[in-house]
């Protein structure tokens, strides 16, 4: 009985508890109902009673490097569960607003309210560790409790197990109190509960990172250095990849701890990203260098000194090859604006590693103004982005000028000796008034104007200086401009022929130098030439010539001289100079060339010049002909001429060479292949060894056509090339005969003497006929000659034929 009463009391207490816990579920008129000190609210904007509590939840990823993903896996009695999936990078926080449900009609009055999440950490993009946890508000007795649990810690969890283990480090505070796996009294105010949950994994490895360039920066040139720190987890240095090409770049250690560097090329005018291969969140986005080329070493409007100078600057392009194709254009202008040097393009040296170019060895001339510009290469797509980048340092075009130079004489040099009388004085610079200077000398009273060479402020003046003296030239009105030098050595010399030289027979020239007191004296110089036989006797007596003298250059020339075989010559020159100059002459360097030279002419080998090798000689219709043979040989020598025909060899015919030429007409030469020989003999009538010549010719009759009448019949015959079949060679010859209006033709063969006869005779009583005769040969050397045409008219007495060509 006691047991029954006790049970009844417990049952009544349970009913009463349920009644009181749900008593606020009816339509009440007050705004809020507080039960058991838990702030559940009544929302009178709705037409029904809604009991709930709000929570301000903060998730914080306290992992040192890894990303974190938080997903909702389960919930109960919640109006607001927040985002189903949350991603946090290392150090990030996420703010959520949650609301639970304690409504009677939702079956949630007095029931556990919870949300379960799964947190997963990602190491280098791969799933590393995870943790199941939940935030729960529940009523164990008379006071609502809140807890963040990583396991099933209350008896009510038996109905809703958490679903997994926790391998991450978690902390939780509820309104400032630690509530991780420890229940705390729920918030009794009308304000939301503040719950902070931190999550981290145990990965303390520091991944590599890029230090330079920094994000959103702009690099200066194409070839850049990527600096960074740290190693991959396997201890190796990392690799780099980019968004602007498909290459993979290795890095090298700097030798300073785990610092490293890598080099790569980035096109100009683009924005790109560099990241560490296989490591997330290492992207660095920056701008490539501005496109184009500029000059940095020269300021616009700058004045420089005359002489050598350099230009340099910067260049950025799409590729290294484009950068190397950049051009520098330079134009020079005179002070009056006229062009001094036309625009010239240069290809400078380009260091693609630094983005710098350099052009060395340029020449700046006094008083000249220059304009220099540069041009590079870049694509249109990069030019579109270019406007958003900072300007490239330097200028694409600069104008600069060269200082005026005081006039000075640059040539001849002091103490030098000029080569000829008519000399050029060279100099540079202008007077202070901008005009060209004048010259004066110590050896005459004249003033000499100079002329611009067109090359900056360079100028030239010409004057005559006597031979064999020392003199001074200076700039009129300008002190300390004297240049003292020696005039040319006096006299004339031969420079084109060396003493003892051997020349070929034929036309030749002599030339040399001449210096004198005046131009007239120079023009009166003489050249004497004497010819000698090999035995020393005179061949041509001494003859004087007056050569052509160029007083401007001090050179003389004698053209059209004739040199004969085996003759020795002596040539000498004579000029004019005064005694005073001759006195000083000994102190001057010797003149170039010789005043007298001896030279000889080579022996002329025997040579047959006519007829030529393989030439066809024809002059008659007879069986033999006379052939003129001509050639060359040493003057005064004898030549034995002969010919050979088949087995026949003619006697030798001796002829003498006159002026290196000889000739002989051989009589009665037959038709056929003829070998002509010429053998030289010296003045002692002895054969000269290996001094002979030989040619093979073809002796032939002329091509002819004749007619003869036999009663009323007409017969054609004539001469042509002979038909030959001998050891020396063979040749087949015939005459092709055709009649206009008839398609067929006939051939008449030529015999060994070059005679032919057409075997058929012709008769015509009336009509007109055109006969054509063509000479044929099977030799590529000896072609048939022009055809013959005969017009024949028939009559009762036979045909009458006339040669029409």
Query: Which DSSP string do the residues of 77-97 spell out, in sequence order?
Result: SEEE---SEEEE-TT-EEEEE
Q: Is residue 8 part of a domain?
A: no
Q: Cα separations (Å) of 163 from 118, 121, 428, 535, 712?
A: 9, 18, 100, 135, 143
Residues 76 and 190 in one domain: yes
> In terms of Cα–Cα distance, which of 425, 420, 422 is closest to 409?
425
Q: How confident is the model at residue 503 (pLDDT cuts 50, 70, 90)?
A: very high
Residues 656 and 684 in one domain: yes
Q: Is residue 755 part of a domain?
A: yes
> In terms of Cα–Cα distance, which of 648, 653, 637 is closest to 675?
648
434-448 mean pLDDT: 92
Q: How confident is the model at residue 390 (pLDDT cuts 50, 70, 90)?
A: low
Q: Is residue 5 part of a domain?
A: no
What is the Cα 580 distance to its own chain's centre? 63
Residues 511 and 529 in one domain: yes
Q: Is residue 713 part of a domain?
A: yes
| β-strand pairing of 687-699 with 616-617 | parallel
Q: Is 152's pLDDT higher than 70?
A: yes
Does residue 800 sit in helix, strand or coil?
A: strand
Residues 188 and 320 in one domain: no
By mean pLDDT, which of 152-161, 309-318, 757-766, 781-790 is the weakest? 152-161
Residue with tokens 């498909």: 246
Determine phi and psi for 263, rounding to 5 degrees.
-115, 145
Residues 188 and 243 in one domain: no
Task: Give the per-residue pLDDT at 668.
Answer: 93
Residues 497 and 544 in one domain: yes
Q: Is 208's pLDDT higher than 70?
A: yes
Q: How confident is the model at residue 598 (pLDDT cuts 50, 70, 90)?
A: very high
Q: How confident is the model at residue 343 (pLDDT cuts 50, 70, 90)?
A: very high
Q: What's the CA gap between 131 and 119, in Å, rounded?
A: 5
Q: Is residue 378 part of a domain?
A: yes
Question: Percentage of the chain surpassing pLDDT 70?
Answer: 89
Residue 585: which H helix or E strand, with range?
Answer: helix 579-585
Task: Give the per-residue pLDDT at 37.
Answer: 33
Residues 553 and 630 in one domain: no
Q: What's the CA gap between 376 and 415, in Å, rounded?
A: 51
Q: Is residue 40 part of a domain?
A: no
Q: Kindly list the strands in the beta sheet with 209-212, ordered across the sheet, starting from the edge strand earlier in the chain.
A: 209-212, 223-229, 259-265, 252-253
Q: How confident is the model at residue 764 (pLDDT cuts 50, 70, 90)?
A: confident
Q: Is 118's pLDDT higher than 60?
A: yes
Q: Is 133's pLDDT higher than 70?
A: yes
Task: Give the per-residue pLDDT at 638.
Answer: 87
Q: Is residue 786 part of a domain?
A: yes
Q: Is 30's pLDDT higher than 50?
A: no
Contact status, residue 243 vs residue 267, Cβ threshold 8 Å: no
> In terms of Cα–Cα distance, which of 93, 87, 20 is closest to 62?
93
Q: What's the CA gap between 52 and 103, in Å, rounded?
A: 8
Q: What's the CA gap between 115 and 91, in Å, rounded?
A: 24
634-650 mean pLDDT: 87
401-408 mean pLDDT: 88
**What is the CB neighbour count within 10 angstroms for residue 805?**
8
Task: Give the per-residue pLDDT at 590.
Answer: 62
Domains: count for the chain? 7
Residues 106 and 194 in one domain: yes
Residue with tokens 């903060």: 58
Q: What's the CA gap between 287 and 270, in Å, rounded?
A: 6
Identify the domain containing residue 297 by its residue range.
Answer: 292-402
Q: Is 134's pLDDT higher than 80?
A: yes
Residue 380: which H helix or E strand, with range?
Answer: helix 380-386
Sign of CA dihedral 608, 614, 620, 623: positive
Task: Give the per-residue pLDDT at 578.
Answer: 55
DSSP secondary structure string for all residues of 431-461: -TTS---EEEESSSS-EEE-EE-SSTTEEEE
Task: Give the per-residue pLDDT at 683.
Answer: 65
Contact status, residue 418 vs residue 383, Cβ threshold 8 Å: no
Of the candidates 659, 681, 699, which is a domain's last residue? 699
Per-residue pLDDT of 229-239, as tens digits, reads 999 888 899 99
Task: Give the per-residue pLDDT at 26.
Answer: 31
Contact status, residue 407 vs residue 475, Cβ threshold 8 Å: yes
Per-residue pLDDT of 328-341, as tens digits, reads 999 999 878 899 88
Q: Cα separations (Å) of 85 from 120, 136, 263, 537?
A: 11, 19, 40, 127
Residues 122 and 242 in one domain: no
Q: What's the CA gap between 221 and 392, in Å, rounded?
A: 9
CATH number at residue 223: 2.60.40
149-154 mean pLDDT: 84
Q: Is 734's pLDDT higher than 90?
A: yes
Q: Is 206's pLDDT higher than 90?
A: no
Per-residue pLDDT of 348-368, as tens digits, reads 999 998 899 999 999 998 888
Task: Give the per-residue pLDDT at 583.
Answer: 45
**Average pLDDT along the chain:** 86
Q: Is 157's pLDDT higher than 50?
A: yes
Q: How confident is the model at residue 15 (pLDDT cuts 50, 70, 90)?
A: very low
Task: Give the per-residue pLDDT at 684.
Answer: 67
Q: Is 316's pLDDT higher than 90?
A: yes
In eight-state DSSP terms, residue 706 is E
Of the candidates 287, 307, 342, which is a domain's last residue? 287
Residues 261 and 297 in one domain: no
Task: Give the per-residue pLDDT at 589.
Answer: 57
By mean pLDDT, which of 46-55, 323-332, 333-342, 761-770 is the weakest? 46-55
Long-range CB contacts (within 8 A, 24+) of 730-737: 731/698, 731/777, 731/778, 731/779, 731/782, 732/777, 732/778, 733/775, 733/776, 733/777, 733/778, 734/776, 735/705, 735/773, 735/774, 735/775, 735/776, 736/773, 736/774, 736/775, 736/776, 737/771, 737/772, 737/773
Per-residue pLDDT of 241-277, as tens digits, reads 999 999 999 999 999 888 999 999 999 999 999 999 9
**b vs e for 350-380, b when ≥16 Cβ sit within 10 Å of the residue's Cβ?**
bbbeebbbebeeeebbbbbbbebbbebbbbe
CATH number at residue 639: 2.60.40.10
Peptide bond into 677 cis (omega under 30): no
Task: Give the per-residue pLDDT at 577.
Answer: 60
Q: Is 39's pLDDT higher than 70?
A: no
Task: Give the per-residue pLDDT at 591.
Answer: 67
Question: Percentage of the chain surpassing pLDDT 90?
Answer: 62
Q: Is 47's pLDDT higher than 80?
A: no
Per-residue pLDDT of 533-560, as tens digits, reads 878 899 899 999 999 999 888 999 999 9
Residue with tokens 């079949």: 725
Contact status, residue 86 vs residue 69, Cβ threshold 8 Å: yes
Half-sphere exposure at residue 27, Cβ-oriented, CA atoms within 13 angstroms: 4
578-589 mean pLDDT: 50
Residues 244 and 328 in one domain: no
Q: Is 43's pLDDT higher than 50?
A: no
Q: Is residue 350 part of a domain?
A: yes
CA-based radius of gyration for the chain:
60
Task: Give the per-residue pLDDT at 728.
Answer: 63
Of the candidates 356, 379, 402, which is a domain's last residue? 402
Residues 160 and 274 in one domain: no
């Amino acid at each position: 009985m006691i047991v029954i009463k006790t049970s009844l009391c417990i049952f009544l207490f349970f009913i009463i508890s349920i009644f009181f816990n749900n008593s606020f579920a009816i339509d009440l008129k007050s705004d809020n109902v507080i039960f058991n000190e838990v702030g559940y609210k009544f929302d009178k904007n709705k037409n029904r009673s809604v009991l709930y509590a709000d929570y301000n939840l903060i998730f914080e990823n306290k992992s040192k490097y890894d990303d974190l993903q938080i997903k909702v896996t389960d919930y109960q009695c919640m109006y607001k569960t927040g985002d189903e999936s949350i991603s946090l990078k290392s150090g990030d926080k996420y703010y959520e607003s949650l609301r639970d449900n304690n409504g009677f009609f939702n079956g949630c009055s007095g029931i556990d309210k919870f949300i379960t999440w799964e947190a997963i950490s990602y190491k280098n993009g791969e799933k590393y560790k995870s943790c199941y946890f939940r935030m729960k508000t529940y009523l164990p007795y008379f006071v609502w409790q809140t807890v963040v649990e990583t396991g099933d810690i209350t008896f009510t969890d038996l109905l809703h197990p958490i679903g997994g283990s926790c391998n991450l480090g978690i902390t939780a505070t509820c309104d400032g109190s630690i509530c991780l796996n420890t229940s705390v009294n729920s918030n009794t105010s009308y304000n939301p509960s503040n719950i902070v949950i931190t999550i981290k994994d145990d990965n303390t490895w520091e991944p590599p990172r890029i230090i330079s360039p920094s994000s959103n920066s702009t690099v200066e040139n194409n070839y850049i250095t990527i600096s960074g720190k740290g190693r991959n987890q396997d201890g190796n240095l990392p690799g780099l990849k980019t968004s602007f090409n498909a290459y993979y770049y290795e890095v090298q250690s700097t030798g300073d701890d785990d610092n490293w560097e890598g080099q790569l090329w980035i096109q100009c005018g683009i924005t790109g990203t560099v990241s560490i291969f296989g490591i997330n969140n290492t992207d660095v986005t920056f701008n490539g260098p501005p496109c184009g080329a500029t000059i940095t070493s020269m300021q616009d409007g700058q004045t420089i000194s005359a002489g050598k100078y350099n230009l340099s600057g910067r260049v950025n392009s799409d590729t290294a090859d484009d950068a190397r194709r950049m051009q520098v254009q330079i134009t020079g202008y005179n002070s009056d604006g006229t062009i001094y040097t036309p625009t010239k393009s240069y290809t400078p040296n380009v260091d693609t590693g630094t983005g710098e170019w350099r052009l060395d060895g340029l020449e700046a001339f006094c008083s000249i103004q220059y304009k220099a510009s540069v041009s590079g290469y870049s694509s249109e797509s990069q030019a579109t982005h270019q406007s958003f980048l900072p300007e490239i340092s330097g200028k694409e075009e600069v104008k600069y000028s060269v200082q005026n130079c005081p006039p000075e004489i640059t040539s001849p040099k002091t103490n030098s000796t000029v080569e000829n009388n008519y000399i050029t004085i060279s100099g540079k610079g202008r007077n202070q008034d901008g005009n060209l200077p004048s010259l004066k000398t110590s050896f005459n009273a004249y003033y000499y104007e100079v002329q611009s060479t067109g090359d900056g402020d360079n100028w030239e003046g010409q004057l005559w200086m006597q031979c064999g003296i020392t003199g001074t030239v200076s700039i009129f009105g300008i002190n300390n401009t004297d240049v003292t030098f020696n005039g040319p050595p006096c006299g004339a010399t031969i420079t084109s022929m060396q003493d003892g030289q051997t020349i070929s027979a034929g036309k030749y020239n002599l030339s040399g130098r001449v210096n004198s007191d005046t131009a007239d004296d120079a023009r009166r110089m003489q050249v004497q030439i004497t010819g000698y036989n090999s035995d020393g006797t005179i061949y041509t007596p001494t003859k004087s010539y007056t050569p052509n003298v160029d007083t401007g250059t001090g050179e003389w020339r004698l053209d059209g001289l004739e040199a004969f075989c085996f003759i020795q010559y002596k040539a000498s020159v004579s000029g004019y100079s005064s005694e005073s100059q001759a006195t000083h002459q000994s102190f001057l360097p010797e003149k170039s060339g010789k005043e007298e030279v001896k030279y000889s002419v080579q022996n002329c080998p025997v040579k047959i010049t006519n007829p030529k090798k393989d030439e066809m000689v024809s002059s008659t219709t007879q069986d033999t002909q006379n052939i003129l043979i001509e050639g060359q040989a040493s003057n005064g020598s004898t030549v034995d001429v002969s010919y050979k025909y088949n087995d026949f060899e003619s006697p030798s015919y001796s002829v003498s060479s006159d002026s290196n030429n000889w000739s002989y007409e051989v009589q009665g030469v037959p038709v056929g292949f003829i070998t002509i020989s010429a053998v030289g003999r010296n003045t002692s009538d002895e054969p000269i060894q290996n001094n002979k010549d030989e040619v093979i010719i073809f002796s032939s009759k002329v091509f002819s056509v004749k007619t003869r009448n036999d009663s009323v019949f007409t017969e054609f015959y004539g001469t042509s090339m002979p038909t030959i079949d001998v050891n020396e060679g063979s040749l087949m010859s015939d005459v092709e005969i055709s009649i206009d209006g008839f398609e067929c033709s006939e051939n008449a063969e030529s015999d060994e003497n070059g005679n032919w006869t057409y075997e058929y005779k012709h008769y015509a009583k009336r009509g007109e006929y055109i006969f054509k005769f063509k000479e044929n040969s099977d030799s590529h050397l000896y072609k048939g000659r022009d055809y013959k045409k005969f017009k024949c008219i028939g009559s009762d007495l036979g045909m009458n034929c006339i040669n029409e060509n």
